[in-house]
Amino acid sequence: MSQHLDSRLLLGVSGGISAYKSVDLVRRLKERGFEVRVVMTQAATALITPLTFQAVSGHPVRTRLFDPVAEAGMDHIELARWAEWLLIAPATADLMARMAAGIADDLLTTLVLATDAQVCLAPAMNQHMWRHPATQENLETLRARGARILGPIDGDQACGDVGPGRMLEPIEIAESIRPRAEPPLAGVRVLLTAGPTREPLDPVRYLGNRSSGRMGYALANVLCDLGAQVILVSGPTELPAPPVVELVSVETAAEMHAAVMGRTTACDLFVATAAVADYRPASPAAHKIKKDAAELSLRLIRNPDILAQVAALPNPPFTVGFAAETREVERAARDKLTSKGLDMIAANQVGEPLGGFESEDNALTVLWDGGRRDLPMMTKTRLARELALLIVERYRERHAAST
């Protein structure tokens, strides 16, 4: 996840019955661009399983201080440094008391002492416990130390009481930490090519390639999520259509070229993920070629380079290309970045056991003028998100420089 766009939030879950609402809270926080990691107290694990939080946050959940396996990954001090926000929801009376006293007898209270993060508390407890002078004094101590207190509210309680002590609803907690922002690509028009092309030899045969279109479709989905209006020009694939404003289905490179060149004026960002055939049969046969001859030669002619032509337009959009290479990946990609006049290129190694065209996973090295970033092996869906965030970052930087 890009650390430039998303804030790092550690969610502490203590043992109140409203812990079940914190599952939804993770989702709401992620919708607002937070990367969320979860720490639970032992009491919280009696109410809800760490696996549930792991599934919604996408990260392993920490529950113990002295956990050799977890500590070998990101130890608790690193975790405390990683966090920009420490949100505790629900915060029980007991947890607030231990925090106020500076006790560090479990992972969560240790993190409270070890972090510089902004601490936010969403208290939840029985109304008597909330009103108790000990709780109120602890609350004031924590507030005076800079903690932000979110709620609680008055209402029906799980124990049957009515009064103050109900945890704020997840959406209200998430909103008070960060309101849902306008998506980063709102109003940005994206033209994206994806999939393979097919170059006919005769009415039944074609020259093709191994592109599945997965990377391009995953990227189209993420760009739509980020608020862009996406036009997808796609070669033949088996994939379900992303929520784009227009899907143009093509077969050949020439059709893809025409579809793209007719739409460049209404486009701010051009992303070429398609595996376009470089050559096509010079004269496809009108009828099925018979196997009479012992040998058959094909004469191929060059297809237009769609990406290079878009980048060479007088007023080009921000252009992003892909380079699938079998060797010297980075050098070849850097050459293409320059020779095609691109703003950015994403390079990957193909023909290896891991990653590449037909795989679910891939890794990329992203290059631009004066910069690079490695995106390690991960699913194409996650990779698309990482790449899209990087594209947003570079696109915005270019726009900031030109305005």
193 is an interface residue for ligand C5P by CB under 6 A: yes
- Which positions are annotated as active-site residues? 159
Question: What values do phi and psi take at 174, rounded to 5?
Answer: -60, -45
In angstroms, give the least distance from the CB of 269 to ligand C5P: 13
CA dist list (Å): 391 to 59, 152, 336: 24, 40, 18
Of 35 and 199, CB closest to ligand C5P: 199
272 is an interface residue for ligand C5P by CB under 6 A: yes
* Structure token pair of residue 126: 């029985």
Of 35 and 305, CB closest to ligand C5P: 305
Cα–Cα distance measured from residue 359 to residue 284, given in angstroms and rounded to the nearest whole number: 31
336 is an interface residue for ligand C5P by CB under 6 A: yes
Region of 15-23, 53-61, 219-227, 273-281 interacting with ligand C5P (CB under 6 A):
273-281
322 is an interface residue for ligand C5P by CB under 6 A: yes
- Tell me which of 93, 230, 274, 344 binds ligand C5P, using CB under 6 A: 274
In angstroms, give the least distance from the CB of 355 to ligand C5P: 16
In angstroms, give the least distance from the CB of 323 to ligand C5P: 5
307 is an interface residue for ligand C5P by CB under 6 A: yes
Of 3 and 326, CB closest to ligand C5P: 326
Of 128 and 302, CB closest to ligand C5P: 302
244 is an interface residue for ligand C5P by CB under 6 A: no
7 is an interface residue for ligand C5P by CB under 6 A: no
Of 166 and 214, CB closest to ligand C5P: 214
253 is an interface residue for ligand C5P by CB under 6 A: yes
Which residues here bind ligand C5P, judged by CB under 6 A?
193, 253, 272, 274, 276, 278, 303, 305-307, 321-323, 336
